[in-house]
Structure 1
Amino acid sequence: MTNDSKTTDAVNDETPRVCSCCDEPLREDKTEHCAVCKGSMCADCRYSCENCGDILCGDCVRWSDQDDCAYCANCLSESKAPAYSPERQRIMDSHEHMFTVGLEIEINGGHDHDKLKNHPLIAGYCTDGSLYHRDGLEYQTDILFTTDFDAINKLVESIHCYGDEPERAGGHMHVRRTRRQTPSRWYWALKGLSDRQARNLNMRHTYYNRWCELRHGDYSGKDTAVNDTHADTIELRTFARWDDTTATRLAVALEWAHHMWRYFESHELYQLKTADIMRESARSAYATPRTTPAMRLATSRKEN
């Protein structure tokens, strides 16, 4: 090694290493490296992709307009903000007491992306932090009316998921918000279901699940069964995944939600006792499976 090279190495060793984002000196024990550009950064300038977990610097991170979360460029490309039908919006706005619902369908595994992305009842899709599979996506439906129940059920029947841990996926149901639809009323509706009834409705709040704990008075966040943080809907996060293995329970769940929504809508606030709601919910859950087309067909076959 020449004297010149030794001099250069000495100078390089003495040059302080700084964060590529904020230019602050880096501490060896606090240094992160961007997965994209490989630049060094301090802990304060570090971001993590919501979907794949890659570490990103401020120049390489991408932000989603849909959920305001950080993503890498690859994961963000698999997102489309929901584009709701203006005609469906107009119909809903013109009928104050019409039941409408929206679904979020999480799929944690390989599946036919194009079929779902291009389906007329799918309004948007995105990656999700709870879905670690490389092909996992969450799909958001358009505004659904009761006349759409059969069509959305057929779509769910066609979902074949190839994942090693499909239980990580869940389904969220957004019911229309009105003055008479309150999170506490929906809390007592879920509380009134037995374990068996909840399972028949593809719900998972009756046994411990970190994504949908049933907590009285706590109606916010992504780990509660009833989420009250949306302006136009009340979100029921209790449902397990919806695909070809659970499609028969989607129709039942939609009919149960429809029944309870109408029940609340027909009673002014403070007219219902918690016992009334729990009793009606359990009664509806017991009766609903026998009123769906699939169950009627199954029953008629047995009788014949």
Structure 2
Amino acid sequence: MNMTNDSKTTDAVNDETPRVCSCCDEPLREDKTEHCAVCKGSMCADCRYSCENCGDILCGDCVRWSDQDDCAYCANCLSESKAPAYSPERQRIMDSHEHMFTVGLEIEINGGHDHDKLKNHPLIAGYCTDGSLYHRDGLEYQTDILFTTDFDAINKLVESIHCYGDEPERAGGHMHVRRTRRQTPSRWYWALKGLSDRQARNLNMRHTYYNRWCELRHGDYSGKDTAVNDTHADTIELRTFARWDDTTATRLAVALEWAHHMWRYFESHELYQLKTADIMRESARSAYATPRTTPAMRLATSRKEN
């Protein structure tokens, strides 16, 4: 079949029309072109986004942003999030007792697990995806405000967590202790500094042997790679802990007891009354001698703090 001159001209024009990025309208280079996993549109490398959870490539129209961590996600992964909804009653109790110890945990799980059980547990306040968890089924859970009387219940929950994945150790477990005037990041720095490597491992801490995300740095208490993070308004975050699941649950019990003891120790001493050697010695002594308390003992302690 013969092709007319008009059709030849049209085809030539189409061949010469440069493809442009669907986001910025700049011409696309063949070796720098990306394709959105959702709408299949073409874009330049500068306009691409990557889902923090599953890694899918996204364009500006298909990317979704999380209010929790300001990271980019696809629509499917962003749906796996719920902002922490803390119990008003627990908040009221904490606010009405200035010297009561409270703590919160972040439980990261890098692999398949029973999502429904954790999402619906009364001690879980929220959950979200996390950029450090590469497994598609990985999630981070945030607990509600925990009192000493919750220690047995949170331990029981952690004992029930079993992770199905190739690298569960990529997950971490952060601890948030209540902030007061006498709870300072430097005091908690010296508490961690006073622990030997063996003591730290027994408490499920990793700053003494693998500190990529929890380096112990004196005077530097901000960010996601420090052992002590002072950027939260109501808590001081200890980022040194490894994952919390059925393989580490026995160490969680001891870690909570240690944190409770050190918190009370700091609370009973006015600022500048403690020397660094005092803190390090007390931390090491507590880690060595911390007993497993009973519910009755913790209830009695809670009443004293009230």
- Work out whether the TM-score is over 0.5: yes
Q: CA deviation at 1:39?
A: 1.2
SS of 1:91 mapped into structure 2: helix
Q: Is 2:149–2:299's contact at 8 Å kept on the other side of the alignment?
A: no
Give the CA deviation at 1:271: 1.3
Q: 1:10 to 1:257 in 2, by over 3 A?
A: same
What is the CA distance between 1:49 and its match in structure 2? 1.0
- Partner of 1:299, secondary structure, is helix
Whether the 8 Å CA contact 1:251–1:292 is kept in 2: the answer is: no
Per-residue CA deviation, residues 53-89 of structure 1 (Å, 9 max, x unaligned), is: 2221110001111112110111111111111111111
Please give the per-residue CA displacement for 1:182-204, whole angstroms capped at 9, x wherever unaligned.
11111111010011111110111
CA contact (8 A) 2:84 2:126 kept: yes
Q: Return the offset for 1:293.
A: 7.8
Residues 1:292 and 1:226: Cα distance change in structure 2 (over 3 Å): farther
- Judged with a 3 Å threshold, the aligned counterparts in structure 2 of structure 1 residues 145 and 296 are, in CA distance, closer, same or farther, namely closer
Give the deviation of 1:266 after TM superposition.
Answer: 1.2
Mark the CA change 1:266 to 1:98 in structure 2 (over 3 Å): closer, same or farther.
same
Corresponding residue SS for 1:110 = coil
Number of residue pairs the alignment of both structures matches: 304
User: Is this contact kept in 2: 1:157–1:244, CA < 8 A?
Assistant: yes
Q: Which shows bigger deviation, 29-38 or 127-136?
A: 29-38
Identify if the C-alpha distance between structure 1 residues 300 and 211 changes in structure 2 by more than 3 Å, giving closer, same or farther.
Answer: closer
Deviation string for 1:143-168 (max 9, x for gaps)? Answer: 11111111000000111111111110
1:249-271 per-residue CA deviation (whole Å, 9 max, x = no partner) reads: 11110010011111111112111
Distance 2:110 2:223 in 1: 21
Deviation track 1:109-146 (CA, whole Å, cap 9, x = no partner) reads 11111110000000011111111112111110001111
Are the structure 2 counterparts of residues 169 and 298 from structure 1 closer, same or farther at C-alpha, using a change threshold of 3 Å? farther
Decide whether aligned partners of structure 1 residues 295 and 130 sit closer, same or farther in structure 2, where only a CA change above 3 A counts.
Answer: farther
CA contact (8 A) 2:185 2:236 kept: yes
User: Once the 2 structures are TM-superposed, how far is the Cα of residue 300 of structure 1 from its aligned partner?
Assistant: 25
Equivalent in the alignment of 1:285? 287
**Quick check: 2:173–2:241 contact (8 Å CA) kept in 1?**
yes
Contact 1:127/1:137, CA 8 A, preserved across alignment: yes
Contact (CA 8 Å) 2:77, 2:129: kept in 1 or not? yes
Give unmatched runs, 5+ long, in structure 2: none
**Aligned partners of 2:53 and 2:135 also within 8 Å:** no
Secondary structure in 2 matching 1:239: coil
For residues 54 and 65 of structure 1, what CA distance do their matches in structure 2 show?
19
Identify the structure with bigger relative contact order (alpha carbons < 8 Å, sequence gap 6+): 2
Q: CA deviation at 1:52?
A: 1.5
TM norm structure 2:
0.92
- Contact 1:108/1:168, CA 8 A, preserved across alignment: yes
Equivalent residues of 1:252, 1:292 under 8 A apart: no
The structure-2 alpha-carbon separation of the partners of 1:297 and 1:32, relative to structure 1 and needing over 3 Å to count, comes to: same
1:181-236 deviation digits (Å, cap 9, x = unpaired): 11111111101001111111011110133111111112111111111111111111
Looking at structure 1, the residues matched to 75 and 135 of structure 2 have their Cα atoms a distance apart, in angstroms, of: 17
- Give 1:29 shift: 4.1
- More displaced 10-residue stretch of structure 1: 22-31 or 225-234: 22-31
SS in 2 for 1:174: strand
Tell me: CA distance 1:58–1:300, structure 2 relative to 1, closer, same or farther (3 Å).
closer
Closer, same or farther in 2 for the Cα pair 1:296/1:70, shift >3 Å? closer
State which drifts further: 37-46 or 124-133: 37-46
Q: 1:9 to 1:289 in 2, by over 3 A?
A: farther
RMSD over aligned Cα atoms: 4.8
Provide the rounded CA distance (Å) in 2 between the counterparts of 1:262 and 1:121: 23
CA-CA distance at 1:299 after TM superposition: 22
Please give the TM-score of this superposition, normalised by the length of structure 1.
Answer: 0.92
Report % sequence identity.
100
Runs of 5+ unmatched residues, structure 1? none
| Greater displacement, 2-11 / 38-47 | 2-11
SS at 2:216 equivalent: coil
Range moving further from structure 2, 183-192 or 1-10: 1-10
- Deviation, structure 1 residue 9: 2.9
Question: Which deviates further from its counterpart, 40-49 or 103-112?
Answer: 40-49
* Residues 1:300 and 1:171: Cα distance change in structure 2 (over 3 Å): closer
Contact 2:97–2:305 at 8 Å: present in 1 too?
no
Q: Tell me the secondary structure at the aligned position of residue 142 of structure 2.
A: strand
Which piece of structure 1 moves more, 211-220 or 55-64?
211-220
Inter-partner Cα distance in structure 1 for 2:10 and 2:300: 82
Kept after mapping to 1: 8 A contact 2:66/2:73: yes
Cα deviation 1:243-292 (Å, max 9, x = unaligned): 11111111110010011111111112111111111001001101114546
